[in-house]
Amino acid sequence: MPATSIDQIVNLAKRRGYVYPASEIYGGLNSCWDYGPLGAELKRNVKDEWWRFMVHTRRNVVGLDSAILQHPGVWRASGHVDGFSDPLVDCKKCKARFRADDLESATCPVRNNVALNDECKSHFTEPREFNLMFQTHLGPVQDEGSLAYLRPETAQGIFTNYLNVQTTGRLKPPFGIAQIGKSFRNEITPGNFIFRTREFEQMEMEFFCPPDEWEQWYAFWKEQRMQWYLDLGLSPERLRWRDHEGTELAHYAKATADIEYELPIGWKELEGVACRSDFDLNAHTKGSGKTLEYFDGQTRERYVPWVIEPAAGVDRAMLCFLVEAYDEEEVDGDKRTVLRLHPRLAPIKVAVFPLVKKDGMPEKAAEIEGQLLARGISTFYDQSGAIGRRYRRQDEVGTPWCITIDGETLSDGTVTLRERDSMEQTRVPAAELGALISERLAG
């Protein structure tokens, strides 16, 4: 059974060092979070898995790392200055703020999160558009000329570099440019832990193709992206597609479908796959005066490619992986909390336990741990407390394998290898451990 409330994840995350409230010693900052040692590893693993799947296993996708601050002209041309807004209403009575397009599921933060009723709604102001881009100023003078924005999506840095990347790499459509990085949106109603925050990380890829091939690539990337989540352990019954209807489509989109996941707060968007047509390249051609097209030197053919974009959130994916992995079960009359994370996502791969703190076991354990670390397999060493308690602590943070070094290890060189999910224990030669774990991680 996955988590039944987000609070289960919030509590475990805080208790075990996955996620802490940001600025906690100052009382916290609304909907801002810091990733602790285990959270930083999980996040890195999610990003590494995405990069491997999207870039390293394909010949026609390359990477990019563009600046968060871009010329304001970028955001004017992309439509963000004029159009990247949500409708906002204020309650004149409670002074609470709401997204006018999200009143059905909204609750009042001022009045103990009670559901909104018609009376509430009679106190609302008319909706007004609120631009979600964070503003800042470059340099010491704060005037109109120094105004800049923090990027609300990583995609635009890809479009403005389209020609750089295409010509330096001598790339011919279809090809993709992938990027992972922070984005910022001054959300009206952030919340639900790391599901919606004002600072978050995105994993986006813009795939440039000949215009008449867009439908085939749109279908291809939809299939690929769903497969990625399934391969990393999200279950098919909690995943579904939702197509955007005509009026819901973004101003740049020809077609969009969201991958939704069933969180304890309902079905929610996890990733969007969109056909952005030639909107962005044309918009930046107009805005910058530089022609952004593809020219084939051999056939003399010239065209503006169309773009398919899979856009995912790192933090949101992390939340879904944690919710899916969370399990509570009864073992020998005790409650066992276990995170059944995919081994490649798990922050710690192997926990190393000497059975007792004497007879040379800690030294032997440290030696075996050293061999695992030398292969880049992350470990956690624990020599205190009953062995059962040590196993449970690792179950709770999602460590797929524990090894115990005991008297037999000293005489025949074998260790106990214990599996997180089945709790099965087998004896394995210590010398073979590194290869065995590497093989399982690769598979």
Size of the chain, expressed as the number of residues it contains? 443
Q: Residue 210 or 233: which CB sits closer to ligand ATP?
A: 233
Segment interacting with ligand ATP (CB under 6 A) among 14-22, 87-95, 120-128, 312-320: 312-320
Does 315 engage in binding with ligand ATP (CB under 6 A)?
yes
Residue 339 phi, psi dihedral angles, 5° rounding = -100, 110
Residues ≥6 apart with Cβ < 8 Å to 370:
none
> Which of 71, 93, 99, 196 forms a contact with ligand ATP (CB under 6 A)?
196
> Which of 16, 316, 349, 420 forms a contact with ligand ATP (CB under 6 A)?
316
Q: Residue 66 or 197: which CB sits closer to ligand ATP?
A: 197
- Please, are residues 187 and 131 in contact by the beta-carbon 8 Å criterion? no
Residues ≥6 apart with Cβ < 8 Å to 363:
none
Q: Is 402 helix (H, G, I), strand (E, B) or coil?
A: strand
Dist. CA 387–CA 256, nearest whole Å: 51
CA 169 to the chain's CA centroid: 28
Site string for ligand ATP, 231-270 (x = CB under 6 A): --------------------------------------xx
Does 131 engage in binding with ligand ATP (CB under 6 A)?
no
Does 272 engage in binding with ligand ATP (CB under 6 A)?
yes
With residues binned 3-state (H G I as helix, E B as strand, rest as coil), the percentages for the chain, rounded to 5, are 35, 30, 35
Q: Residue 49 or 153: which CB sits closer to ligand ATP?
A: 153
> Which of 160, 166, 202, 379 forms a contact with ligand ATP (CB under 6 A)?
202
Stretch 83-112 residues interacting with ligand ATP (CB under 6 A): none
Dist. CA 146–CA 137, nearest whole Å: 5
Does 403 engage in binding with ligand ATP (CB under 6 A)?
no
Does 271 engage in binding with ligand ATP (CB under 6 A)?
yes
Q: Is 75 helix (H, G, I), strand (E, B) or coil?
A: helix
Q: Residue 44 or 93: which CB sits closer to ligand ATP?
A: 44
Q: Which two tokens stand for residue 401?
A: 């394998």
Site string for ligand ATP, 158-187 (x = CB under 6 A): ---------------------------x-x
Does 327 engage in binding with ligand ATP (CB under 6 A)?
no
Dist. CA 326–CA 86, nearest whole Å: 34
Position of minimal CB gap to ligand ATP: 313
Q: Residue 294 or 321: which CB sits closer to ligand ATP?
A: 321
Segment interacting with ligand ATP (CB under 6 A) among 306-314, 352-360, 368-376, 422-430: 306-314
Does 312 engage in binding with ligand ATP (CB under 6 A)?
yes
CA 431 to the chain's CA centroid: 36
Segment interacting with ligand ATP (CB under 6 A) among 46-54, 221-229, 284-292, 310-318: 310-318
- Please, are residues 387 and 418 in contact by the beta-carbon 8 Å criterion? no
Question: Which residues pair with residue 405 across a beta bridge?
Answer: 354
Burial class (CB in 10 A: 0-12, 13-18, 19+), 378: middle
Alpha-helical (H) ranges within 151-260 are 155-160, 162-168, 214-231
Contact footprint for ligand ATP (CB under 6 A): 153, 185, 187, 196-197, 200, 202, 269-272, 311-313, 315-316
